[in-house]
C-alpha cells in the first residue's frame, strides 16, 4: 500500500514525497539541478515544468512531504525561515495589521519593524500565552496572528487551540512557528492553526548543513498565493537544499526521540545545579505551563534556556564550553549547540527590548544534540565550574 495521510508519522517521513524514481528506480529523490526545461512544443512543457524558479521536481517532492507531516493540504518552501516569513507577509497589503507574540525569535520583529513597516504593514506585540491579550489586540484591519510556541528563548507556551478560537471568531488567520517542536511533537494545524512555519534549517534538516524555510497551508488558495510569491519574488529553496531536507526528514522521528530524551535529562541536571539560577524548559514540572505543554505536545524537545546570573558568568561559562558543547548560532542539529541570546539571536532587540520580555545578559540557550547524554552533562559540569 502506498503511504498516505493515514500512515504512521515515521512512515510518512520516509515515504510520502520520497518515492523511488520512476525512471531509474533510485531509492532517493534525485537532485534536479536544472535551471530550465526543454518543451516538446510551444506552450506544452513536460509535466508542467518550465523554469526552476517557478517549480522543480525535487522541491515538489519536499513540499508534498512536509505538507503531509504537518497535516496540511500543501506547502511551499523558501531559501530560509526568514524568507518563508517574508513570503507569507507578502500576501498582505499596506494598512493590514498583524499581531505577534512579544517573545519570539529576534529576527522576526527585526523584519517586521525595520523592513515591513516601510511597506505600510502594522504590528502589535502581545503576550500570547494569554489568549485574552490576542483578543484585545485584534482590529478591523488585523489579518494574521503570528504565534511561536514554545518561544525562543524563554520557552513560553501558548494554547494554540484557544488562540485559534479567538482569531477565527474575528476572521483572523493564525500562523504558528513550529520550529522548536517539529511536527513530530506538535502539529498546530490539528489544533486550529491556518498555516504553520518552520525554519527547515533546524530539526527538519537536522544536520546543520543547509538553510531553508517552509509555510504549510490548510487551503489551496494560500498555497496558490505563496506559489505566486515564489515565482514573482524568488527566494526559493535550491534543489540541493531540498534534497538535504528530504534526507534529514527520513530520520526525524528517531532523532526527535533522542533529542527529547537528552533534553529532559539535561534540563533536570541544570535544574539541580547550584550555579544555575533558573531553567526554562516546559518538561520541568515547575514550568508555569507544564500542564498545557503536556496536553498540546507529545514531547518536550531539546531546547533549554537557563540563567547564569550575569554577563560575566555567561561569558566565563561559554568560554569553557568544549567537547560536545559547540558555541554557535542556530539549533536543531544532531550536535549540541550553545548560545547567548542577548548578543546573538536577540541582539537586534536592544537592551530595553530584551529587558521588557525577560531576556537577561546572563541567559544561555542550549540545543541539546543526540550525543550520549552523559558526555553532554560532563561537558556542562566543566563549563559551569568556570562560574
The pLDDT-based confidence of 45 (bands split at 50, 70, 90) is confident
CA angle at residue 204 from 360 to 125, to 5 degrees? 40
* Residue 167: pLDDT over 50: yes
Q: pLDDT (tens digit, 9 = 90+) per residue, 290-304?
A: 999 999 999 999 999
Domain boundaries, the chain: 9-249, 253-384
Express as a percent the part of the chain with pLDDT over 70: 99
* Residue 115: pLDDT over 70: yes
Contacts of 322 (CB under 8 A, 6+ apart): 379, 382, 383
The arrangement of strands across the sheet holding 195-199 comes to 74-78, 213-217, 195-199, 173-177, 142-148, 97-101, 122-126
State yes or no: is 269 an active-site residue: no
pTM reported for the whole predicted model: 0.96
Query: What is the rounded average pLDDT of the residues 372-385?
Result: 98
Query: What is the rounded average pLDDT of the residues 210-220?
Result: 98
Higher-pLDDT residue of 2 and 176 is: 176
- Choosing from 49, 105, 125, 144, the catalytic residue is 105
* Grid cell in block for residue 165: 478560537
Measured CA distances, 223 to 246, 252, 295, 334 (Å): 20, 24, 30, 31
Q: pLDDT (tens digit, 9 = 90+) per residue, 47-69?
A: 889 999 999 999 999 999 999 99
- Choosing from 102, 177, 194, 379, the catalytic residue is 177
The pLDDT-based confidence of 46 (bands split at 50, 70, 90) is confident
In this chain, the answer to whether the domains covering 9-249 and 253-384 adopt an identical fold is no
* Grid cell in block for residue 334: 544532531
- Choosing from 187, 202, 250, 354, the catalytic residue is 202
Architecture of the structural domain at 9-249: 3-Layer(aba) Sandwich (3.40)
Q: Give residue 1's pLDDT.
A: 39
State yes or no: is 177 an active-site residue: yes
The pLDDT-based confidence of 44 (bands split at 50, 70, 90) is confident
State yes or no: is 143 an active-site residue: no
* Residue 36: pLDDT over 90: yes
Residues 310 and 329: their CA atoms lie apart, in Å, by 20
Residues 167 and 68: their CA atoms lie apart, in Å, by 24
- Is residue 117 within 8 Å of 162, Cβ to Cβ? no
Q: Give residue 4's pLDDT.
A: 64
* Residue 2: pLDDT over 70: no
Q: Give residue 67's pLDDT.
A: 98
What dotted CATH number matches 253-384?
Answer: 3.90.1150.10
Contacts of 311 (CB under 8 A, 6+ apart): 342, 361, 362
Q: Give residue 6's pLDDT.
A: 72
DSSP class of residue 327 equals: E
Q: pLDDT (tens digit, 9 = 90+) per residue, 333-376?
A: 999 999 999 999 999 899 999 999 999 999 999 999 999 999 99
Query: What is the rounded average pLDDT of the residues 236-253?
Result: 98
- Is residue 279 within 8 Å of 304, Cβ to Cβ? yes
Helices 252-272, 373-384: axis angle to 10 degrees equals: 40
The whole-chain average pLDDT of the chain stands at: 96
136-139 contacts, C-beta under 8 A, 24 or more apart:
137/99, 138/99, 138/166, 138/167, 138/170, 138/172, 139/97
Dihedral sign (CA 156, 160, 161, 163): positive
Q: Give residue 3's pLDDT.
A: 60
Instruction: Say whether the peptide bond before residue 170 is cis (omega within 30 degrees of 0).
Output: no
* Residue 198: pLDDT over 90: yes
Phi then psi for residue 35, to 5 deg, are: -80, -20
State yes or no: is 96 an active-site residue: no
Amino acid at each position: 500500500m502506498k503511504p498516505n495521510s493515514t500512515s504512521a508519522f515515521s512512515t510518512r517521513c520516509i515515504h510520502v514525497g520520497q518515492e523511488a524514481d520512476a525512471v531509474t528506480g533510485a531509492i532517493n529523490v534525485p537532485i534536479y539541478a536544472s535551471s530550465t526545461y526543454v518543451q516538446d512544443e510551444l506552450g506544452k512543457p513536460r509535466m508542467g515544468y518550465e523554469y526552476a524558479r517557478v517549480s522543480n521536481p525535487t522541491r515538489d517532492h519536499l513540499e508534498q512531504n512536509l505538507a503531509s507531516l504537518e497535516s496540511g493540504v500543501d506547502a511551499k518552501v523558501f531559501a530560509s525561515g526568514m524568507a518563508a516569513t517574508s513570503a507569507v507577509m507578502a500576501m498582505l497589503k499596506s494598512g493590514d495589521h498583524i499581531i505577534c507574540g512579544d517573545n519570539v525569535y529576534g529576527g522576526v520583529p527585526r523584519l517586521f519593524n525595520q523592513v515591513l513597516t516601510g511597506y505600510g504593514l502594522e504590528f502589535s506585540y502581545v503576550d500570547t500565552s494569554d489568549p485574552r491579550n490576542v483578543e484585545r489586540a485584534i482590529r478591523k484591519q488585523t489579518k494574521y496572528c503570528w504565534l511561536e510556541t514554545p518561544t525562543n528563548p524563554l520557552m513560553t507556551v501558548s494554547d494554540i487551540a484557544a488562540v485559534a478560537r479567538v482569531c477565527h471568531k474575528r476572521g483572523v488567520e493564525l500562523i504558528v512557528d513550529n520550529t522548536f517542536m517539529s511536527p513530530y511533537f506538535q502539529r498546530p494545524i490539528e489544533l486550529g492553526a491556518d498555516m504553520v512555519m518552520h525554519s527547515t534549517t533546524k530539526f527538519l534538516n537536522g544536520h546543520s548543513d543547509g538553510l531553508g524555510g517552509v509555510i504549510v497551508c490548510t487551503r489551496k488558495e494560500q498555497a496558490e498565493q505563496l506559489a505566486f510569491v515564489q515565482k514573482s519574488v524568488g527566494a526559493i529553496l535550491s534543489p540541493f537544499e531540498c534534497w538535504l531536507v528530504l534526507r534529514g526528514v527520513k530520520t526525524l522521528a528517531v532523532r526527535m526521540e533522542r533529542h527529547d530524551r537528552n533534553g529532559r535529562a539535561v534540563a533536570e541536571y541544570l535544574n539541580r545545579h547550584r550555579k544555575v539560577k533558573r531553567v526554562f524548559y516546559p518538561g520541568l514540572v515547575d514550568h508555569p505551563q507544564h500542564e498545557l505543554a503536556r496536553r498540546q505536545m507529545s514531547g518536550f524537545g531539546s531546547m533549554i534556556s537557563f540563567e547564569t546570573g550575569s554577563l560575566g558568568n555567561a561569558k566565563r561559562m561559554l568560554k569553557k564550553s568544549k567537547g560536545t558543547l559547540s558555541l554557535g548560532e542556530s539549533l536543531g542539529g544532531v550536535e549540541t549547540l550553545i548560545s547567548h541570546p542577548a548578543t546573538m539571536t536577540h541582539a537586534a532587540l536592544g537592551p530595553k527590548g530584551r529587558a521588557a520580555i525577560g531576556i537577561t545578559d546572563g541567559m544561555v540557550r542550549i540545543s541539546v544534540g543526540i550525543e550520549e547524554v552523559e558526555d553532554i552533562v560532563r561537558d556542562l559540569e566543566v563549563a559551569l565550574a568556570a562560574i
